[in-house]
Structure 1
């Protein structure tokens, strides 16, 4: 393996232990003088102070894309999930997988993606509006879930769906045979209900780049998301049923052309259709029009626009741009979706997706929980999902990495703010929501989004050891906060080779450091039990370049838990890029059996990553050691994740 043998053996010999966090603040620990452990970090673990249940769904992953056979997750020839992906996902200890994805899936039509492949309809990709396929549908997804022993989680599209359509999806996934949708599922080869519990409505609709029919005004859009409404669309390019690209709204000069608006239904008589900016006029029947008439017919429910054939109504000239002004709506809101879905299956959890983030902070001024409480709907959501990304441009106000070290440090600086986004939303939900409402994380990570950015100093930052340290730190915070499920990063990438994903792209599927840390922590998160309260004193601070979020960060981060066997597990993340750190562990109200099982994930450098030529540049090393006292010390290797497991006496 590529792990630093010197640091690992030094830690085993010194019998020094790591950091943990539980219950209250998740924080990092300081490192100190290797020769005088009393002057270094101290981790005080109070096993008697029980915290939240440790979730086996903590290390979930975003499926990201469903089209193109899930970028290789699905073997269409064998009509089965790719066995290499299944093997590596199971090996990595992934607990949950999100489907059909995020932005790309905001216009997904589930009914077009079931049944015989030849009968399936085209789809609209939610970011670019391009036409894509329906090959990897809900049944294929569930076959992958079953093969890889995963928990399913579905993002149900909001902007292009109705409550009845999504309630029908719930019924298709969960209803028994002897019902309409249960029988259809059985007809498609799957008689047993899938029992999908975790659902969320929409993806990042708080972001201005994902508003679709909704208002550009944030407060108006929040109300529309919660309660529905109507919104004027102006000079919007016409579309095709499965194509929202601008070129789909251009005339080919042929007779009897048909277009649609992007976001039906349309308020009757509200539309104005323009051909090269010239207004054309609606008629009830094209057969009565003459060759010169600039006319069209219109169906408000579907938003369908039909032009003439050159004898009965003009043909829009070839190359002409068709645009439409119209009132899109009325559309249903989250409350309508929630009621319809719970009527279909009262046992599911339905989460809202509106958790607005600005400049690295959760935006309380756009609070979905507060709006729902104000209007008497506090009981009509089971939770809120959030995407607490560290966006370097938005949060740290940078557009480039000055050097490789800065690319590492900026992730660690942003990680603390990302954790606070989650706990701030939790406070909002607890204040305004029902008692059992909760917060889940359906995407997370550290990335550049949009705009100009320069990553050439550290292009591997999103799949190197640095990012594995970021994710492990997030899992420590989320464990302490009691988050029930998390989907971080994407499962696989669009292109071959490594990428900002768990396994890279087809056909090689490389296990990234992120995947290795998940494997390392599988027992911790799948061991049942609960987190325990941990305090960290005298944490080492790592100095970094100045950013709006600060110029330093804590070196050590961790969490601790008692599993179902009574053993104490301690996860420690040393985020320092170059310093081994010794810390003293003080477990209160716990007596270990005199030994510790240890696993460490690291490489020779914080920028190490695995690829086809070097698949083990980052690896896992395991050992055992004897503990001679109840308090003990451990030296944590630089840029590493360490798991210490102490059996109870």
Structure 2
């Protein structure tokens, strides 16, 4: 199993430009003549002596996304093992790093309820909708998958409903030696050897308005609560059960001796007001002395447990009555407390912060800068890095609620991709400016989607799994590779349904390989061979004209990154984002003498909106060929809407 290693985290020496330096183009996007030398078109210049970063085998990681329902079929509960076909396809697709337990759905995850015998495991609260879900696919099951794929684990530890001690215990369960308290528990569960999980992030998108949980709706207050902890008044909040925050869990059954819990304990003593329907009931210390018709309850601040009477000692809440609570949640710990508790257990781990808000296609800095806040309060050393989710949100970033047509859907993704790249480099700049020298930035989710608000994808419903999104993701990896991002987890692993979806694989039992899985297969050797990232750029790039948007009205057709692998071969990745134009470019590597034959692989469908399905599983596939080098250079026609990998072996 490969772990994260700081010496592989060589940061890029220069920021990657995401501006569009356009060559001439007609309104339909066709290139003008004479863009390159002698009118030959763009030139891909590779400086093999200018090293930008180390190649990371973790560049093409994935967000596990869901742990319940047996990880959408990844786990076979009867065999107590991962499904072999799913593992085979994960390995084929070059998936190394897998994020667990996921994103929004995991913000209220309870790891202690998901280890040990299945009969003793608890249910969980799903973090987005509050429904009750199972714990069958726990940390040990997850690590079985990691072992099968020779992968690297990465854990998102929940913040909203946990404590530093609980997460420090999780670190100990995963990493502590045999013979220690949690090492013994792990061994009793059948796993004596430490797992060695090195990379942890605290929370998921807690800066989002709909992922604040106990924290304030005020941004400036909330970032301080995330960093340093605090208290927060909760108003008119439904009650529930420890493992169920659904609407039904807040309704009285009419039975005696009912108990409920507030969502975010602990509670400041005597701060609570409990409503049964529209009436305020009264807190008492003991129900045994209450009259039968007394509207009373007992309350335990640490757990947030509310207990009602049995009809003889305290009234029973009427059947169907909704129960709500006002209370002050807290005191809660902040990121700094989590960091110190976790590092005390295992100083070798990396603990990453997640407060990287985005608005209108830009990283929000200033008062919302987590690195700046930590530095101003003397805690610049108390985080090892940050994760960011540089999504393109069409409604937020481009101010659209629909795709006028397929071409617009394609172009919007390409415009958003450049903005997403700048979000990452801007965060890198913030961390370098305010953080410690070793701190870094990683990407734990990314992609192009509609979020929130009214929206329609009728004009291009296939956009999240067609070739357009493959071009988006390939471009992101090229940018991240060039600036030394050490790991990424893009897209979700498995869909809840068998057909095409915004995932790497469709649902069980087929686990159909989506076009992004094909892209990953194409590129796995580049990232897994190791080596170094070298400087590459496209001179006289072709511009693609688009509708006018807040993110501009044109984008560069070609994106590139280049590496020298351990065998000394030069790998040049070129993404042609043009929806309909082949583009010939001149590849000119400096200080490199290639062999006469170049290995070529191309991923492309018939159109930019092509995708794989059960009927056409190979609509998007890898096509391999070879080409002859002319001297030390190569002219190559890059197909429209394609990802091309050129491997130049060194001349022996």
TM range (shorter): over 0.9
Cα displacement (A) at 1:525: 0.8
- What is the distance in 2 between the residues matched to 1:69 and 1:26? 42
| Aligned partners of 1:599 and 1:621 also within 8 Å | yes
Aligned position for 2:148: 147
Q: Distance in 1 between matches of 2:474 and 2:13?
A: 14
Residue-by-residue CA offset, 1:356-398 (whole Å, 9 max, x unaligned): 1111100002000000000000000000000000000000000
CA distance in 2, matches of 1:74, 1:256: 38
TM-score, normalization: structure 2?
0.95
Summarize deviations over 1:202-252 as a string: whole Å, max 9, x none: 000000100000000001000000000000001111111111112211111
Give 1:106 shift. 0.2
Q: Distance in 2 between matches of 1:147 and 1:412?
A: 35
Whole-Å Cα distance in 2 between the matches of residues 641 and 515 of structure 1? 13
1:485 pairs, out of 487, 498, 514, with: 487
Q: How does 1:427-442 map to 2 (within 5 A)?
A: 427-442=429-444
Query: How far apart, CA to CA, are the structure 2 residues paired with 1:601 and 1:38?
Result: 29
State the alpha-carbon separation in 1 of the partners of residues 95 and 75 from structure 2.
18
Match of 2:567, SS state, is coil
Shift of 1:102: 0.2
Residue 509 of structure 1 corresponds to which residue in structure 2?
511
In structure 2, the residue matched to 1:94 is 95
> TM-score scaled by structure 1?
0.95
What does residue 3 of structure 1 align with?
Answer: none
What does residue 407 of structure 1 align with? 409
Whole-angstrom distance in 1 between the partners of 2:538 and 2:642: 18
Does residue 119 in structure 1 map to residue 93 in structure 2?
A: no
Alignment partner, residue 635 of structure 2: 633
In the other structure, the counterpart of 2:247 is 246
Say yes or no: does 1:25 pair with 2:16: yes
1:593 equivalenced with 2:562 (yes/no): no
Show the counterpart of 1:68. Answer: 69
1:475 maps to 477
Partner of 1:392: 394
User: Residues of 2 paired with 1:312 and 1:162: CA distance?
Assistant: 35
- Asked whether the equivalents of residues 45 and 536 of structure 2 are also in contact (C-alpha less than 8 Å), the reply is yes
Aligned to 1:4: none
Deviation per residue, 1:536-561 (Å, 9 max, x gap)? 21111111122111111110001011
Query: Residue in 2 aligned with 1:335?
Result: 336
Q: What is aligned with 2:351?
A: 350
CA distance in 2, matches of 1:421, 1:337: 26
Counterpart of 2:525 in structure 1 is: 523
Distance in 1 of aligned mates of 2:15 and 2:589 = 17
CA distance in 2, matches of 1:604, 1:163: 52
CA deviation vs aligned residue, 1:436-458 (integer Å, no higher than 9, x gap): 00000000000011121110111
Q: Secondary structure at the match of 1:623?
A: strand
Q: Cα–Cα, structure 1 residues 416 and 36, in superposed 2: closer, same or farther, change >3 Å? A: closer
Q: Structure 1 residues 194, 38: closer, same or farther in 2, change over 3 A?
A: farther
Residues 140-186 of structure 1: CA deviation (Å, up to 9, x unaligned): 00001111121110000001000000000000001111001111111
Aligned partners of 1:480 and 1:559 also within 8 Å: yes
CA contact (8 A) 1:26 1:558 kept: no
CA distance in 1, matches of 2:196, 2:235: 42
Deviations 1:489-511 (A, max 9, x none): 00011122110000111111111
| 1:603 counterpart residue number | 605
Say whether 1:574 aligns with 2:576.
yes
Structure 1: gaps spanning 5 or more residues: 1-20
Which residue number in structure 1 is paired with residue 38 of structure 2?
A: 38
| Superposed displacement of residue 38, structure 1 | 3.5
More relative contact order, 1 or 2 (CA 8 Å, 6+ apart) = 1
Alignment counterpart, residue 558 of structure 1, candidates 542, 557, 560? 560
Change (3 A) 1:558 1:26: farther
Residue 210 of structure 1 aligns to a residue in which SS? coil
CA distance, structure 2, for counterparts of residue 487 and residue 292 of structure 1: 56
User: What is the distance in 1 between the residues matched to 2:281 and 2:72?
Assistant: 43
Contiguous gaps of at least 5 residues in structure 2: 1-11, 24-30
- Give aligned pairs, total: 629
Corresponding residue of 1:621: 623
Match of 1:289 in 2: 290
- Secondary structure of the residue aligned to 1:418 is helix
User: Conserved in 2, the CA contact under 8 Å of 1:99 and 1:153?
Assistant: yes
